[in-house]
Amino acid sequence: MDPDPMQYVEDPDKKENTDKADAAKAKSRLNTLVAISVALLATFMGICKVKDDNIVQAMQQAQANKIDKENAASRSRAGGQDIQRTKLS
């Protein structure tokens, strides 16, 4: 009942196949991580773009409202002056 010495010897072909499989797994993991990172970054950038557009739109609306109020005030002042001129005439 002697132990078989060949049982403990590693087969170089088997080791090479194992190394290739490990390298393929590592490459696959890296590709997966890169794909997930790109997807998350694209989603984040898209959300920021929408938020930025909403802020710009709100600022434009505020500016338009300010101009409308100034024009309304200007018209009311001008209208009051026209009434006073009419009364004096």
The pLDDT score that the predictor gives to residue 42 is 94
What is d(CA 46, CA 33) in angstroms, rounded to the nearest whole number? 20
What is d(CA 71, CA 75) in angstroms, rounded to the nearest whole number? 6
pTM of the shown model: 0.47
More confident residue, 55 or 15: 55
More confident residue, 26 or 13: 26
Overall average pLDDT of the 49-65 stretch: 90
Look up residue 36 and give its two tokens: 């997930």
Q: Which helix (H) or strand (E) holds 13?
A: helix 12-88
Percent of the chain with pLDDT over 90: 34
The pLDDT score that the predictor gives to residue 72 is 86
Ordered by start, the domain boundaries in the chain are 12-88
